[in-house]
């Protein structure tokens, strides 16, 4: 019996090691990051979009996009952990505004000067 169990364990390890690993990329706009008061205070005025993505861990979903003669305006959305959410406006690659729904139901606004207001 012990021989059978040892062989079964060995076969299981071989199957596990040989089978291809399934690596899933982060889904844009979906994250486990919780958008709360602590998170919004970590934002920097006019921070680059790629810095925001680095903090969140995944790119946002493009909700609206407008290309102008001199710059591009993009609205992004993320669904976060604990039913939180973040919407950000990016102009020429920089975050100019953000609106965040925290898990407690409060909404926070972040402007390009870095001012945070609670709604």
Q: Which of 10-14, 15-19, 48-52, 102-106 has the lowest mean pLDDT?
A: 15-19
User: With bands split at pLDDT 50, 70 and 90, how would you rate the model's confidence at 69?
Assistant: confident
DSSP 22: -
How much is the pTM? 0.78
Q: Between residues 18 and 32, which one has the greater pLDDT? A: 32
- pLDDT category of residue 17 using cuts at 50, 70 and 90: very low
Three-state secondary-structure class, residue 114? coil
Mean pLDDT, rounded, of the chain:
85
Q: Which residue has the tokens 């909700």?
A: 63
Rounded Cα distance between 53 and 2, Å, is 52
65 CB-contact burial (10 Å; exposed 0-12 / middle 13-18 / buried 19+):
exposed
Burial 13-26 (b: 16+ CB within 10 A, else e): eeeeeeeeeeeeee
Ranges of each domain in the chain: 26-118
Whether the CB-CB separation of 61 and 28 falls below 8 Å is answered with: yes
To the question of domain 26-118 being in CATH 3.30.1450.10, the answer is yes
């Amino acid at each position: 019996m012990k021989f059978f169990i040892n062989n079964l364990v060995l076969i299981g390890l071989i199957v596990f090691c040989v089978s291809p690993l399934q690596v899933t990329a982060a889904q844009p706009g979906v994250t486990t990051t919780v958008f709360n008061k602590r998170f919004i205070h970590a934002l920097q005025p006019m921070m680059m979009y790629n810095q925001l993505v680095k903090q969140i861990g995944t790119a946002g979903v493009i909700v609206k996009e407008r290309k102008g003669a001199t710059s591009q305006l993009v609205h992004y959305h993320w669904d976060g952990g604990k039913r939180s959410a973040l919407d950000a406006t990016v102009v020429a690659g920089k975050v100019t505004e953000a609106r965040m729904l925290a898990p407690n139901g409060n909404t926070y606004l972040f402007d390009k000067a870095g001012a945070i207001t609670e709604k």
